Amino acid sequence: MLRNNKKVAEIIEDGWGGGLQFHWVDNNTSALVQSRTYDDKPHSFNGTVEESLFYAEVMKLPKIPSFNNDSEMFTDPDIVVDEMVNDVLLTKKIKSDLKKHLTIQSKDGKLLTWKISPTHTIEVLTAHALKKYPDAIIINSLPIADVIKIYKKANIIA
């Protein structure tokens, strides 16, 4: 994990269940880390300076739905890092897919794709798509941040 382009932690998912393992680079520093438990109780422990800074940022995030969806809970570092990793992987996959396919969003919100080939270039496919779907949004031409929002809203896992 980086902060200001500087490595502050290594995060390991060992595949054996349980939470992520955080190995803070500044393990020779000491700071009080403030957090909350899932049931909203204050919790603190001795950690590193970078760990304390990260937890402070996590604590500022809005609550998320609980597992049973009948209440909200504070998020935790594992959830935040998991979402960050998933966003990076999703971005990489979407960029790769958009190089191989023209993707549009039709007026009714559906995402439609056509495979790009030497005979079916992006320009040829775009002209065809816009002729058939004149109000469509060409996903390939949008900034990647907007594309990710569209994919997430459409519940698409690239």
Question: Distance between CA 114 and CA 130 in Å, rounded?
Answer: 12
Domain assignments of the chain as residue spans, ordered by start: 2-75, 96-153
Predicted confidence at residue 157, as pLDDT, reads 66
Q: What is the pLDDT of residues 9-36, one digit of tens each?
A: 999 888 888 788 999 999 999 999 999 8
pLDDT top residue among 47 and 64 = 47
Span 99-128, mean pLDDT?
94
DSSP letter assigned to residue 41? -
Q: Burial level of 54, CB count in 10 A (0-12/13-18/19+)? A: buried
Q: How confident is the model at residue 68 (pLDDT cuts 50, 70, 90)?
A: confident
Model confidence at 126: pLDDT above 80: yes
Could you give the angle at which helices 49-60 and 77-100 cross, rounded to 10 degrees?
A: 80
> What percent of the chain is modeled with pLDDT above 70?
98
- Taking each continuous run of H as one helix and of E as one strand, the counts in the chain are 4, 11
- Comparing CA positions, the residue from 31, 36, 30 lying closest to residue 61 is 36
Question: Distance between CA 4 and CA 54 in Å, rounded?
Answer: 12
Model confidence at 115: pLDDT above 70: yes
Q: How confident is the model at residue 44 (pLDDT cuts 50, 70, 90)?
A: very high
For tokens 């949004």, name the residue.
Answer: 137
Span 119-139, mean pLDDT?
95
Question: Distance between CA 99 and CA 122 in Å, rounded?
Answer: 9
Q: Determine the Cα angle at 134 with ends 158 and 91, to 5°.
A: 20
State the DSSP H helix or E strand holding residue 11, giving kind and residue range, or none if neither. strand 9-12
Predicted confidence at residue 158, as pLDDT, reads 53
